[in-house]
């Protein structure tokens, strides 16, 4: 029996959720928070989205969508075009290729792996921006951004897993 | 058996395609970086276009955030009402004194201007824009504004908050634009040390306190000196306040800017009729130039 048009559309919309959620995370990062000192070290929310979906639903946020998220991130944040695109792409690729290792493991393992991967990602972004500008950037804001991202990971993972349970349980 | 062989081959093929797609995306992002480095107009246009498309969403999202910030600020202010009052009373007394001095100097200035036949500075035109995006990033200090070329914003215009210099416009779309703060690593602002009239360049380095470079002559700069914009380079009008010198050590002079990034909700983009930091408009494309020449010939 072929599913009716409504069922197909429902599935299709549900399949858009991972990209949609990651995109909203991207926009959230850009909202002016009016918190003193926060703007230099805001967590890299879209990176968490890309990492999470790469492990749990790599079919719905494939490499090319991670690339697009990265490009949008570059445009909104004003970093040289391509830097975050490459970073997101590599994070998605690495996480998706190692996903068998994560499935069924405890949350601490996921967090630890995210720490390693994000360290690589922030380091690479720092290196690329420094290369493109021709000057070494001060690494301390990047370090704080990294720590901030790491601290936010549990909360965001909870939100993302709730989203996954709500929309993508059986599609 | 045969079927599984075919399926296996199909799977290998799919894997190969995936690998190839992944590699080509990596190549694409590296190519974008190189193209962006070459300052291609197409890249700039694309950035502006995407920023324009996102502007309405960002604008809508920035409003509740601003409201929340306002409410918390209200509570904060209520809590500190008493101390704030005392501080303001003291400041008022000091400012009354300054007002007398300023009145005297102003009348003196008018007389001197008249006797010297000074041509007055033109009154600047300005646009007030909402800050719709403040991407917290360790790699650059910039903000998205909810106004663009259709509101009269041009590249290189100065951005002020009140009377304080905040930065300049770096990218312009139709209804959004990107402002580069004076603390960004790419920002260079010609400045004067107010008391000694020493010229220098304020170079941002992505930290909260930009440093002075290319300091002219043998400077005698002390902590607490006020820094204002200089007219050199035609980038900014002279005399806009920027900040105060916060530290002088081993030849590194750092400036504490007056602008508080987290307080920025509205900024004014000011057209002083100067060339801006990018002093030349792009030359018209060749066909139009040829056409206008033809017109001249016809005339």
pLDDT tens, residue by residue, A14-27: 888 999 999 999 98
Per the prediction, chain B carries an average pLDDT of 83
pLDDT tens, residue by residue, A29-41: 888 877 777 766 7
Please state the length of chain B.
299
pTM equals: 0.81
Please give the C-alpha separations between residue B67 and each of A10, A88, B73, in angstroms, as whole numbers.
36, 33, 10
pLDDT for the residue numbered B280: 46
Please give the C-alpha separations between residue A77 and each of A69, A89, A143, in angstroms, as whole numbers.
12, 17, 18
| Dist CA B180 CA B8 (whole Å) | 54
Query: A129 vs B139: CB contact, 8 Å cut-off?
Result: yes
Nearest CA in chain A to B259: A36
| Sequence-distant (≥ 6) Cβ neighbours of residue B28 within 8 angstroms | A67, A82, A85
B271 interface with A at CB cutoff 8 Å: no
B139 interface with A at CB cutoff 8 Å: yes
B135 interface with A at CB cutoff 8 Å: yes
A124 interface with B at CB cutoff 8 Å: no
Query: A30 vs B260: CB contact, 8 Å cut-off?
Result: no
Nearest CA in chain A to B33: A82
B178 interface with A at CB cutoff 8 Å: yes
Residues B101-125: what's their mean pLDDT? Answer: 86
| Dist CA B187 CA B156 (whole Å) | 11
Residue B41 buriedness (CB in 10 A; 0-12 / 13-18 / 19+): exposed
Q: Is the pLDDT of residue B286 over 60?
A: no
Domain parsing of chain B, residue ranges:
9-38, 57-116, 125-271
| Sequence-distant (≥ 6) Cβ neighbours of residue B273 within 8 angstroms | B122, B124
CA distance B144 to chain A (A): 8
Q: Which of A49, A8, A10 is nearest to A26 (CA)?
A: A49
CATH class for the domain made up of B125-271: mainly beta
pLDDT for the residue numbered A1: 59
pLDDT tens, residue by residue, B86-103: 999 999 999 999 999 999
**B47 is written with which tokens?**
């950035």
Contacts of B138 in chain A (CB under 8 A): 40-41, 122, 126, 137, 141-142, 144-145
Query: B58 vs A30: CB contact, 8 Å cut-off?
Result: yes
Q: How far is CA A160 from the centre of its chain?
A: 11
Q: A26, A27, A29, A31: best mutation site toward chain B, by most B Cβ within 10 Å? A: A31
B32 interface with A at CB cutoff 8 Å: yes
Q: Give me the numbers of helices (H) and strands (E) for chain B, helices first please.
A: 4, 12
Q: Is the pLDDT of residue B295 over 80?
A: no
Residues B207-214: what's their mean pLDDT? Answer: 88
pLDDT tens, residue by residue, A51-100: 999 988 888 888 899 999 999 998 888 888 889 999 999 999 999 888 88
CB B227 within 8 A of CB B192: yes
Nearest CA in chain A to B73: A34
Q: Which of A140-149, B59-68, B117-126, B163-172 has the lowest mean pLDDT?
A: B117-126
Residues B139-156: what's their mean pLDDT? Answer: 88
Residues A155-168: what's their mean pLDDT? Answer: 89
pLDDT for the residue numbered B273: 64
Q: Which of B44, B250, B15, B51 is nearest to B146 (CA)?
A: B51
Listed in order, strand segments (DSSP E) in chain A are none
Strands B158-161 and B266-271: antiparallel
**Dihedrals φ, ψ of A4, to 5°?**
-70, 170
Residues B93-116: what's their mean pLDDT? Answer: 92
Residues B14-39: what's their mean pLDDT? Answer: 86
Query: A137 vs B185: CB contact, 8 Å cut-off?
Result: yes
CA distance A169 to chain B (A): 26
Contacts of B65 in chain A (CB under 8 A): 31-34
ipTM of the assembly? 0.82
- Percent of chain A whose predicted confidence (pLDDT) is above 70: 97
| Sequence-distant (≥ 6) Cβ neighbours of residue B277 within 8 angstroms | B156, B168, B188, B233, B235
Contacts of A33 in chain B (CB under 8 A): 65, 69, 134, 136, 262
Residues B29-38: what's their mean pLDDT? Answer: 86
Q: Is the pLDDT of residue B48 over 70?
A: yes
3-state DSSP assignment of residue B131: strand
Q: Is the pLDDT of residue A3 over 90?
A: no
CA distance B23 to chain A (A): 10
pLDDT for the residue numbered B282: 47
**Which helix (DSSP H) or strand (DSSP E) does residue B212 occupy?**
strand B211-213
pLDDT for the residue numbered B4: 64
Q: Which of A36-40, B111-115, B123-127, B225-229 has the lowest mean pLDDT?
A: A36-40
Residues B222-235: what's their mean pLDDT? Answer: 84
pLDDT for the residue numbered B1: 46
* Phi/psi-derived region of residue B161, left when phi > 0, alpha when psi is between -120 and 50, beta in every other case: beta
Q: Is the pLDDT of residue B291 over 50?
A: no
pLDDT for the residue numbered B283: 44
pLDDT for the residue numbered B104: 94
Q: A20, A34, A39, A141: best mutation site toward chain B, by most B Cβ within 10 Å? A: A34
pLDDT-derived band at A124 (thresholds 50, 70, 90) equals very high
Q: Is the pLDDT of residue B136 over 70?
A: no
A60 interface with B at CB cutoff 8 Å: no
Q: Is the pLDDT of residue B276 over 60?
A: no
Strands B266-271 and B125-133: antiparallel
Residues B157-165: what's their mean pLDDT? Answer: 89
CA distance A95 to chain B (A): 14
Nearest to B30 among A35, A77, A86 (CB): A86
**Dihedrals φ, ψ of B268, to 5°?**
-105, 130
Residues B130-141: what's their mean pLDDT? Answer: 82
| Dist CA B144 CA B179 (whole Å) | 6
Residue A143 buriedness (CB in 10 A; 0-12 / 13-18 / 19+): middle
């Amino acid at each position: 029996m072929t599913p009716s048009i409504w069922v197909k559309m429902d599935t299709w919309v549900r399949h858009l959720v991972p990209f949609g959620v990651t995109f909203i995370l991207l926009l959230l990062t850009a909202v002016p928070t009016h918190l003193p000192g926060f703007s230099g070290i805001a967590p890299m929310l879209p990176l968490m989205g890309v990492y999470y979906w790469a492990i749990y639903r790599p079919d719905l946020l494939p490499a090319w969508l991670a690339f697009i998220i990265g490009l949008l991130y570059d445009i909104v944040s004003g970093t040289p075009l391509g830097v975050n695109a490459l970073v997101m792409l590599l994070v998605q690729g690495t996480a998706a290729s190692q996903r068998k290792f994560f499935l069924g493991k405890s949350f601490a393992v996921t967090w630890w792996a995210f720490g390693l991967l994000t360290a690589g990602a922030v380091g690479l972004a720092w290196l690329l921006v420094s290369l493109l500008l021709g000057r070494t950037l001060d690494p301390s804001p990047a370090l704080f951004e990294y720590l901030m991202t790491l601290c936010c990971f549990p909360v965001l993972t909870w939100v993302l897993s709730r989203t996954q349970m709500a929309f993508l349980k059986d599609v | 058996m045969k079927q599984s062989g075919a399926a296996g081959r199909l799977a290998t093929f799919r894997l190969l395609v995936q690998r190839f797609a992944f590699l080509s995306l990596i190549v694409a992002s590296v190519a974008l970086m190189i193209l962006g480095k070459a300052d291609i107009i197409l890249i700039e246009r694309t950035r502006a276009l995407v920023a324009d498309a996102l502007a309405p969403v960002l604008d809508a999202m920035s409003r509740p955030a601003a409201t929340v910030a306002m409410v918390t600020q209200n509570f904060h202010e209520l809590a500190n009402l008493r101390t704030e009052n005392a501080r303001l009373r003291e400041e008022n007394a000091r400012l009354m004194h300054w007002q007398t001095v300023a009145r005297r100097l102003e009348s003196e200035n008018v007389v001197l201007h008249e006797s010297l036949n000074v041509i007055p500075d033109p009154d600047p035109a300005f646009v007030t824009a909402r800050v719709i995006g403040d991407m917290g990033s360790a790699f650059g200090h910039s903000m998205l504004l909810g106004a663009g070329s259709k509101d009269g914003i041009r590249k290189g215009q100065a951005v002020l908050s009140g009377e304080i210099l905040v930065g300049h416009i770096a990218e312009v779309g139709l209804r959004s634009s990107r402002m580069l703060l004076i603390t960004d690593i790419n920002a260079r602002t010609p400045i004067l040390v107010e008391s000694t009239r020493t010229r220098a360049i304020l170079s941002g380095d992505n930290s909260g306190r930009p440093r002075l470079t290319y300091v002219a002559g043998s400077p005698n700069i002390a902590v607490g000196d006020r820094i204002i914009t200089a007219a050199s380079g035609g980038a900014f009008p002279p005399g806009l306040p920027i900040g105060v010198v916060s530290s002088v050590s081993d030849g590194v002079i750092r400036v504490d800017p007056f602008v508080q990034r987290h307080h920025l909700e509205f900024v004014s983009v000011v057209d002083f009729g100067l060339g801006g930091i990018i002093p030349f408009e792009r030359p018209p494309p060749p066909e139009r130039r040829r056409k206008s020449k033809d017109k001249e010939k016809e005339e």
